[in-house]
Copies of this chain bind each other. A is one copy, B any other.
Amino acid sequence: MFKTNDYFDGKVKSITFETIEGPATVGVMAAGEYEFGTSSVEYMTVISGEMDVKLPGESGWKTFLPFETFIVPANVKFGVRMKGDTAYRCLYR
C-alpha cells in the first residue's frame, strides 16, 4: 500500500504518501552525515531530533529543530547531519 524507501544502507528510511498539494514522505535518519540530491523543490520539516543542514551556496551548517522547515531548490545537492535518530517530513513541489 505505502512504499518504503531505503538509503545509505538503511540508515535513512522513509514512507511515501500523498498530500493534496503533491507527493510527500515521512522518514527517519540515523546518526551520521548524508548528501542528497533534489529533482524538485523540497520542503523539509524536522519532526523529532535535531538536524544540521548545509544548503547549496552556503559555507556553514544551520541547525533545525522539530517543526522547523527549510526549503531546498530543485536539482541541487544538500548536506544534512545529526547526532541521533532524527525524523522528518518532506514535501515535493
A contact residues vs B (CB 8 Å cutoff): 1-2, 4, 9-11, 13-15, 17-20, 24, 26-28, 30, 45, 47-49, 67, 84-85, 87, 89, 91
Contact = CB atoms under 8 A, between A and B. Distances in A.
A23 to B, nearest CB: 10
Contact of A87 (B26, B28, B84): B26
A37 to B, nearest CB: 21
Nearest to A18: B85
A17 B48 contact: yes
A20 B89 CA distance: 19
Nearest to A8: B1
Contact of A15 (B15, B17, B49): B15
Given A2-B10, A17-B87, 11 more contacts: A1-B30, A2-B28, A4-B4, A17-B85, A18-B84, A19-B85, A26-B26, A26-B27, A26-B48, A48-B91, A87-B89
